[in-house]
Amino acid sequence: MPVRGLACKQPGGRKLAAAAGSSAGPTTQGSEEDKQYMLQALALARRALGKTEPNPAVGCVILKDGQVIGEGYHPKAGMPHAEVYALRAAGQQAEGATAYVTLEPCNHYGRTPPCSQALVAAKVTRVVVGVADPNPLVGGTGVTTLEKAGIKVVNVGGDVEAQCYEVNRDFMERMKAQAQSQ
């Protein structure tokens, strides 16, 4: 059965893909506007570089009606993730909004609850993802959860996707190696 999800490959050749059987069809590549807001999210992620290990540095921007209504980044391991801070800032205005997240939202319980579930609960209607999360605990399941909830998921693509990968290169390589060893 074909795998459905984002059709764009991350650097290194891995597709950002939802699990087979997703109710939503393949998603598309982001627009120039999407790339600009993703760059804003990437700037937020960079604020946390060197402070989040073993987690990645992630940024999130929430946009509604052309206005940024929430921003956040993951400040350090054990603290809420970028999506949570951005959704808190947006409050109820997040309903119907677009979230720009530099890394595929997590979909597992660790020290924090799944960000994919927070986005679903906030009733965002669209999520633009910077790059796939190669963490074996995520591996496309964040996208699957969002799509099953009726949220449109878009891969930012292009050079901005490459920048989202590069900001967390060590994490990305470590997770890819971990996935290959399983």
Element spanning 38, H or E: helix 32-46
Task: State residue 101 phi and psi, 5-degree precision.
Answer: -125, 130
Among 107, 108, 59, 111, which Cα is nearest to 85's? Answer: 59
Q: Catalytic residue among 32, 33, 83, 173, which?
A: 83
83 in active site: yes
Q: Where are the beta strands (DSSP E) in 65-168?
A: 67-73, 98-101, 126-129, 152-155
Element spanning 116, H or E: helix 115-122
Residue that is written with structure tokens 């390589």 in the block: 173
Active site residues: 83
